Amino acid sequence: MSKSTQREDHLKALYALGESQSSSWVSTTQMASHLGVKPPSVTAMVQVLAELGWAEHRPYHGARLTPTGRKLALSLVRKHRLWETFLVDRLGFGWEEVHDIAEQLEHVDSVALVERLDAYLGHPQTDPHGDPIPKADGTFHPEGEVLVLAELDPLVCCEVKAVREGSDATLSAMSAKGIALGSVLTPAQIEALPAAWLDQLMVCKTVDDGSID
């Protein structure tokens, strides 16, 4: 598929891991466990990405995307999230079923396809997990004030805005408990959730309108 599914996968891993931590430098071991390969394989691939001008490699310290590499990674994220949106909104898949399929679809190489798909879906701003969809030029729509549920200090009512990387099983379990994008959670409900979910659920506080009047 096009230039190489593997290169694209390494590029995406570099992007995803760089975003999820303070420094954009990512270790080869991190990438290896994320991609399910061994560290030496990552080293080799990172060196290829460096030759292509898509990443920098500081031996023994890690790798980081170049601006070019970042653009490419964003276009992959864009494709992935547009396909997920298609699978859920149009084909009726559950949000826990679409990741692996989108993983394959995102490697299809056709600019026209992505742009037509985007238009067909009505230029969606977020995917079925609530994550923002990068635009064709690599910019995002602002994400609003969301925070990880684990960091909600005084437990207050909040609305689920997005779910970060969860296994299919986790996503199914959430669905089963009635958690979806837009769900409102009360402090009591939050305390009853499995601890692991607190790091995955992104929420924003809702105003308690004292609805018992």
Partner DNA sequence: CATGATTTTTAGATGCGCCTAAAAATGGTG
Partner DNA sequence: CACCATTTTTAGGCGCATCTAAAAATCATG
Alpha carbon separation from 94 to 84, 88, 91, 105, 106 (Å, rounded): 10, 6, 9, 17, 18
Per CB under 8 A, the list member of 1, 136, 184, 196 interacting with a second copy is 1
Packing angle, helices 67-85 and 98-105, rounded to 10: 130
* Residue 22 lies near DNA (rule: CB under 7 A): no
**Residue 38 binds which entry of a second copy, DNA, none, with Cβ cut-offs from 5 to 8 Å by kind?**
DNA
Per CB under 8 A, the list member of 113, 136, 180, 196 interacting with a second copy is 113
* Residue 27 lies near DNA (rule: CB under 7 A): yes
Q: In the bound complex, what is the minimum distance in angstroms from residue 42's beta carbon to DNA?
A: 7
* Residue 116 lies near a second copy (rule: CB under 8 A): yes
Compose the 41-80 pattern: x for residues touching a second copy by CB under 8 A, - for all others: ----------------------------------------
Per CB under 7 A, the list member of 20, 29, 139, 206 interacting with DNA is 29
Q: For residue 84, which of 104, 110, 69 has the smallest C-alpha distance?
A: 104
Q: In the bound complex, what is the minimum distance in angstroms from residue 32's beta carbon to DNA?
A: 7
Residue 64's beta-bridge partner residues? 56
Q: In the bound complex, what is the minimum distance in angstroms from residue 34's beta carbon to DNA?
A: 12
Q: What is the DSSP letter of 145?
A: S
Contact region with DNA (CB under 7 A), list: 4-12, 95-103, 107-115, 150-158:
4-12
Closer Cβ to DNA, 45 or 152, answer by number: 45
* Residue 61 lies near DNA (rule: CB under 7 A): yes
Alpha helices in 52-197 (DSSP H): 67-85, 98-105, 111-120, 168-176, 187-191
β-bridge pairing 158-163 and 201-205:
antiparallel
Q: Which two tokens stand for residue 147?
A: 């925070």
Please give the Cα distance from 36 to 141 (Å, whole number).
31
Please give the Cα distance from 185 to 178 (Å, whole number).
10
Per CB under 7 A, the list member of 24, 41, 66, 183 interacting with DNA is 41
- DSSP helix/strand/coil, 69: helix
Interacting residues with DNA (CB under 7 A): 4, 6-7, 9-10, 27-30, 35-48, 57, 59-62
